[in-house]
Structure 1
Amino acid sequence: MVKLYEKGAFLLNGTEIIDENDVEQVKAKLDGVTKEDAKKGTIAYGILEAHNQGDDLENLNIKFDALTSHDITFVGIIQTARASGMEKFPVPYILTNCHNSLSAVGGTINEDDHVFGLTAAKKYGGIYVPPHMAVIHQFMREEYAGCGKMILGSDSHTRYGALGTMAIGEGGGELVKQILEDTYDIKYPGVVGIYLDNKPNPGVGPQDIALAIIGEVFKNGYVKNKVMEFVGPGVSNLKTDFRNGVDVMTTETTCLTSIWRTDEDTKEFLKTHNREDEYKELNPEKVAYYDGMVYVDLSKVKPMIALPFHPSNTYTIDELNANLEDILRTVELEAQRITDNPNIDFDLLSKIKDNKLYVQQAIIAGCAGGTYSNIMEAANILKGHSTGNEEFALSVYPSSQPIFMELIKNGTMNDLMASGAAVKTAFCGPCFGAGDTPANNSLSIRHTTRNFPNREGSKPIQGQMSGVALMDARSIAATARNKGILTSAEVYAEEYELPKYSYDDSAYRSKVYNGFKNENSESELIYGPNIKDWPEMPELTDNILLKVCSKILDPVTTTDELIPSGETSSYRSNPLGLAEFTLSRRDPEYVGRSKVVNELEKSRQNGDLELDDKLKEVYDKISEKFGEIDPNKTEIGSMIYAIKPGDGSAREQAASCQRVLGGLANICKEYATKRYRSNVINWGMIPFQMKEDAEFEVGDYIFVPGIRDAIDNNLDDIKAYVIGDEIKEISLYIEPLTDNEKEIIKEGSLINFNRNK
């Protein structure tokens, strides 16, 4: 089904893979082409070269063609850019309202953010997409993605590779840099080929193919921070709308971005959306070298399921149904481990009746599930059948108004409603815990993007726990037709010819505000009472003292655990208000611990620091070893230790919430994603790593002398000291930083860096 090559591979004429290890084949067939030359043969190389602002392709300085954000990120980005001297949006900046669109929490604050977004679009020249109109990525597919482009978004699922666009999801700080006409600076990434062969069987959808790949490449980091380049003859056996569904899930592999070869079907998709001029044929050169190769036989992919609590926890549905008790028991054990709450009894085994698994809820929604082809395929399976009037419920969210309008015109919405499905407007809530939250101790199957703990809406700290499994819309429909009994779409699979899609953008023409290149500096921003400015952040001192305020030993810590999603998203326009939720579903004592440290740092900045007995003892020991250290010239801040933090969302608030509480550093074995590490840096925190186990505990102090000099001159071996009964030396390091990143950390934040610049 899926095969990973041990090392790199050459691709000849787009169809023949030659393993790098096969020396004889390499010599015989490459005709003297070197690996370095062949690296320039990828699609990715051409796009990155075209967008690089300098001559150095090893160290890229990228400018993007467009930017995009939604309503739980754009307020913070605009506020940061304003504080940094922004005058206008220099490229199309699309502000969608698809996350807090229900305006369901906190009184007026969600709609206040929407009003702010519209007024910002008028003042700075943005494009504003009102609530319920489209989810962020569907709008970008329909209106802005095109062949050879690069787009940057403040949402991790910013992926438009199937339309020939290299799109990257990052924290808001990276968008601020683009707004200020700076660059996105990265080392040239590795490029991994995803070679698709043959065609999928009836009943197999894009989520199945995506999960099959994720299950093979996530845990071993095969594509981490690399470009996934989809090639091979199998690409042309997939409709572009189908490709979009595979593509958006590449985020769950922890890759940097994705790109696909394009063909006549790509052209047809763009033509349907009135943008045929955005088409270019994109193919690898005659010889292309890839740093890894994933071979996918589409004909052997079966309907898949990703069980709680990660998209990589994958099985075929047939495999699960054949081993229900054994597999579900492992999920229950994992629930006990991650919640560490004896009052929670997450019980999946009780959902087995007569050797069949009963699920309680199903969702088809968002950028992954709510596409035209997914809903049409699901409706075809379900047509004429009832979902039943028991506990099981199905909700369907088309991902844009144009799709909704077409489904109404062709009668599909009537069919879905007649079956008992609830049909709702474009909304991302089911993906991040703000819509259709399952009942306690229930199991929900979803064609959405993620199923992390704490993300579907449950709150383990409060004894509330549910589970989400990811599946394709086709198997969700089969399960719905079977009234909640987990069922593979293969049971009802048949060859189905998708009715032609007719794109009607009249809703956009009526309601989307397009102010690009029409900014009005005299226009006023309208602020709601929850929209607050960023607090001041101090510059880094020569020596620092860290207090360990949380120590997390989970194999991976997601951004949903660092700052929960769901209803907390409503407070993202208020830095200090949102910070109250930091680690609230993982380490509820963290905020209180950090506030105590932050008060000490504020006193230091004000020149009236008073040392309690514990802190005086700490400084006495430091001075004994290093000579007199002035506490008033030593920044003190809180620190989080986690083994591998930052998997998942691009949300910068996972870092900014730590910073506004006085966070000064993270220490980890490795960062799960580049985007989280970038967020840590942009908010002026130090992205430490260490190779050894963490031999310090919550409440310990760690002294790091000469940190400014280390950032400039010696990132590889930074000596730090745990201050206990004895002083214990530990070794930290920081992976390479750009010159700008070094200055951002030293100046205390990206905001400070831009102001001073």
Structure 2
Amino acid sequence: MKLYENGAYLINGVELVEDTGDVAQAVAAKTGSAPDKEAAKKGTMAYGILTSHNISGNDKDLQIKFDKMTSHDITFVGIIQTARASGMEKFPLPYVLTNCHNSLCAVGGTINEDDHVFGLTAAQKYGGIYVPPHQAVIHQYAREMLAGCGKMILGSDSHTRYGALGTMAVGEGGGELAKQLCGRTYDIKMPQVVAIYMTGKPRKGVGPQDVAIAIIGAVFKNGYVKNKVMEFVGPGISNLSTDFRIGIDVMTTETTCLSSIWRTDENTKDWFETHKRPEEYKELNPAPVAYYDGVVEINLDEIKPMIAMPFHPSMAYTIDDVNANLKDVLHECEERAKISFGDKIKYSLQDKIVDGKLYTEQGLIAGCAGGGFENIMAAADILKGKFIGNDKFTLSVYPASTPIYMEIIKNGAAATLLETGAILKTAFCGPCFGAGDTPANNALSLRHATRNFPNREGSKVQNGQIASVALMDARSIAATAANKGFLTSAETYEGDFNQYKYFFDSTIYENRVYDSHGVAHPEVELVEGPNIKPWPAMTALTDDVMLKVVSEIHDPVTTTDELIPSGETSSYRSNPLGLAEFALSRKDPNYVPNAKEVQKVEHARQAGTSPLEDAGFKAAYETVMKQFPEVDPMKTAIGSTIYAVKPGDGSAREQAASCQKVLGGWANIAHEYATKRYRSNLINWGMMPFLYEGDDKELPFALGDYVFVPGVRKAIADKDEVIKAYAVKADGTMTEFDVKLGDLTDAERDIIMAGCLINYYRG
């Protein structure tokens, strides 16, 4: 795999010419004319799709209107509540509400099924589409029923990726979906586009997750595709089935790219015909001369079965390397764990070495990444006639949709899998986010799923519970299961992989899915269970702001799962204040009480009690007023802030930001933000995404200090590039330092000053 240091021209979809300086002659020799870089940039598929959905009138600052949207049952209640509060009366575009996360209804009494009933009545009232629990995971339904070549889909799940079907899809926080529901736009700068240029053909035993892990391992740490579009081109694509492409595509989220798009061909056409939507197909290719801002060149012949070791999809190794260097690789994992866990827990994987081999306790093939038809059929081929054993190792298979489940029953693969000792389960995202098939303490789980972050397997480090997840392809998971839990590469499989014809039966959707066909029924009453609560009132930003640092995180990357845990806490996502109790709970248990103490002072200020009544704020203001005597504590918003090096990797869940906001957060301070979607979540909830460019090890502030930002509202309105802030210490000293907000649209500035998106829309 090769990453270009420069951009490149792609000629006729097959020849690359790297932009190393004077390339005019080389390009002209292949095209017959001198290159025009700006014109060639418009030759990408991404450019064509983005501009066709842009209503801004220019191709630099885009205002995107999406064709369709989709959400699941840990996001759609909050989104609809936000949009209702902002004035929405009906869904202005097709909006699908799936129920694949809290579908077990196993935690919190009635609250999960209450959310589902809310979703059904919302689809009826506002004119949406409702997919009942266990019918399909969100992304498989979108592939089967929503995607179309040249279309754009916005989803409130980070793995909203349908590029392999010619659809540019973006996963964002709920605020961005609420904007679309209110008739507004998705505002971004024209993103850079990176070519993912494929040649060759996958070797036997290699599946889509292997290719995906190899890509993530190459581009995540260096940010090569961060907030860019990954455009899959090259002759190697023709050697991949559409199911295979889908399996790679869904994992592009883990690179931190903005979106993805693939060239389409006869294989894509057949896929749409199989799924009874042939009208959604059209051929997509880059122009005869297209310019890319970077290139990842991949020879598929060279990809071997891979494993992403704990605790991130970018921790990429070949399975052969792990087996050959077990002690060293496991030690590396243990050292990485110390960064996240510190001394909270003793973590070791050395006990997994049994007779020189790596023993694992669990295998899972599940969800939007693993639960596809071809993955399951390949696993069935490998496991046919085998038995997974009667020791600790277990294997569960979750087809991604009921139509896939129906097909493996009809063709006999279900029986093949069940005969091995594997268990078949319904379409459910739980294993991916920590709410299903939680392994035992200290166990190691192998999963063809999307993520292996800490807590995603159900760990609660604060309770002394820790388990690990490694990501692998379904084929090698099946080979491991056939070897009764000992890590095994699918390349060792000596049998044949059969070619199976997939027959898509949409009958179950036709009979069970509620589709309003865009017709709203305002007379329908929303059914809101007792856990479903509206957003609390939020105030506008004042001229000055006084912040207290209530959490300080120095990990290289902080995931959204650490900012707001997934798993069983997801059951409380329809209750903003209830869910906020879990904020940072598995990373910094002191965050919530610290934030609440600050919020108590702010509530008192709003009620007429001076912040000077609080000893800590009194001392801070006394220090500040020596230099800024005109500051009025009664007119200065008080809030909390966290510091993190690089927060926001992973999930699109807006609650990573909104939970901080409802606890009185006014800002984050960071060196950079891991994803655009987390930064957007902060902005939409009226929080300032401050950037601090100084040394992480020599911060001007520390946990418990105050940060005073005078004139912040004016600075935001005036689009100041640099904002002066002051760290206020308990010893009465004050240190000036600079923060920035980065690029903000005019609307984003107004949202922050209004205090949140809801306030902004209310005017």
- Give 1:588-667 correspondences, 5 Å limit: 588-611=589-612, 612-667=614-669
Give the secondary structure class of the aligned counterpart of 2:74.
coil
- Residue 106 (1) aligns with residue 108 (2): yes
- Residue 62 (1) aligns with residue 64 (2): yes
Contact 2:37 2:291 in 1 (8 A): yes
Q: Which residue of the partner structure matches residue 148 of structure 2?
A: 146
Q: Which residue of the partner structure matches residue 78 of structure 2?
A: 76
Give the secondary structure class of the aligned counterpart of 1:587.
coil
Shift of 1:337: 2.8
Q: Which residue of the partner structure matches residue 354 of structure 1?
A: 355
CA–CA distance in 2 between the matches of 1:108 and 1:556?
Answer: 36
Q: Deviations over 1:433-467 (max 9, x none)?
A: 00001111010000000000122110111110010
- Give 1:96-135 correspondences, 5 Å limit: 96-135=98-137
Q: Deviations over 1:645-695 (max 9, x none)?
A: 000000000000000000000000000000000000000000100100322
Q: Deviations over 1:352-400 (max 9, x none)?
A: 1121100000000000000000000011000110000110000000000
CA–CA distance in 1 between the matches of 2:348 and 2:185?
Answer: 49
Shift of 1:27: 5.2
Shift of 1:614: 2.6
Query: For 1:717, which of 713, 722, 725 is the aligned residue?
Result: 722
Q: TM-score of the superposition, structure 2-length normalised?
A: 0.98
Shift of 1:571: 0.1
Shift of 1:495: 4.5
- Give 1:348-747 correspondences, 5 Å limit: 348-611=349-612, 612-693=614-695, 694-724=699-729, 725-747=732-754
Contact 2:339 2:555 in 1 (8 A): no
CA–CA distance in 2 between the matches of 1:82 and 1:730?
Answer: 40
Contact 1:202 1:493 in 2 (8 A): no
Q: Which amino acid aligns with 1:711?
A: I
Which one is further off, 595-604 or 135-144? 595-604
CA–CA distance in 2 between the matches of 1:547 and 1:347?
Answer: 37
Q: Deviations over 1:276-322 (max 9, x none)?
A: 00001000000000000000100110000000000000000001100
CA–CA distance in 2 between the matches of 1:576 and 1:548?
Answer: 21
Q: Which amino acid aligns with 1:633?
A: K
Structure 1's unaligned 5+ residue stretches are none
Q: Which amino acid aligns with 1:396?
A: V
Q: Which residue of the partner structure matches residue 45 of structure 2?
A: 43
CA–CA distance in 2 between the matches of 1:493 and 1:583?
Answer: 48
Shift of 1:123: 0.3
CA–CA distance in 1 between the matches of 2:496 and 2:745?
Answer: 53
Q: Which amino acid aligns with 2:356?
A: N
% identical aligned pairs: 65
Q: Which amino acid aligns with 1:743?
A: D
- Residue 259 (1) aligns with residue 289 (2): no
- Residue 320 (1) aligns with residue 322 (2): yes
Shift of 1:33: 2.3
Contact 2:381 2:498 in 1 (8 A): no
Give the secondary structure class of the aligned counterpart of 1:156.
coil
- Residue 16 (1) aligns with residue 15 (2): yes
Q: Which amino acid aligns with 1:736?
A: D
Q: Which amino acid aligns with 1:733?
A: K
Give the secondary structure class of the aligned counterpart of 2:231.
strand
CA–CA distance in 1 between the matches of 2:705 and 2:56?
Answer: 45
Q: Which amino acid aligns with 2:718?
A: N
Number of aligned residue pairs: 754
Give the secondary structure class of the aligned counterpart of 1:363.
strand
Q: TM-score of the superposition, structure 1-length normalised?
A: 0.99
Structure 2's unaligned 5+ residue stretches are none
CA–CA distance in 2 between the matches of 1:355 and 1:327?
Answer: 13
CA–CA distance in 1 between the matches of 2:380 and 2:22?
Answer: 51
Q: Which residue of the partner structure matches residue 157 of structure 1?
A: 159
Contact 1:703 1:721 in 2 (8 A): yes
Contact 2:432 2:451 in 1 (8 A): yes
Give the secondary structure class of the aligned counterpart of 1:23.
coil
Q: Deviations over 1:510-552 (max 9, x none)?
A: 1000013221111100010000010000000000001000010
Q: Deviations over 1:118-161 (max 9, x none)?
A: 00000000100000000000000000101000000000000000
Runs of at least 4 residues of structure 1 off by over 4 A?
none
CA–CA distance in 2 between the matches of 1:127 and 1:27?
Answer: 51
Query: For 2:138, which of 136, 139, 156 is the aligned residue?
Result: 136
Q: Deviations over 1:384-422 (max 9, x none)?
A: 100001100000000000000000000000010000001
Contact 1:618 1:723 in 2 (8 A): yes
Q: Which amino acid aligns with 1:268?
A: D
Contact 2:27 2:34 in 1 (8 A): no
Q: Which amino acid aligns with 1:270?
A: F
Contact 1:708 1:746 in 2 (8 A): yes
Contact 2:407 2:502 in 1 (8 A): yes
CA–CA distance in 1 between the matches of 2:437 and 2:496?
Answer: 32
Q: Which amino acid aligns with 1:418?
A: E
Give the secondary structure class of the aligned counterpart of 1:598.
helix
Q: Deviations over 1:708-753 (max 9, x none)?
A: 1111224321100011221100110011100100000000000000
RMSD: 0.9
Which one is further off, 546-555 or 344-353? 344-353
Q: Which amino acid aligns with 2:604?
A: S
Contact 1:249 1:368 in 2 (8 A): yes
Give the secondary structure class of the aligned counterpart of 1:134.
coil
Which one is further off, 14-23 or 130-139? 14-23
Q: Deviations over 1:166-214 (max 9, x none)?
A: 0000000000000111000000000000001011011000000000100
Give the secondary structure class of the aligned counterpart of 1:405.
helix
Contact 2:228 2:257 in 1 (8 A): yes
- Give 1:81-230 correspondences, 5 Å limit: 81-230=83-232
CA–CA distance in 2 between the matches of 1:645 and 1:504?
Answer: 42
Shift of 1:615: 1.6
Q: Which amino acid aligns with 2:588?
A: D
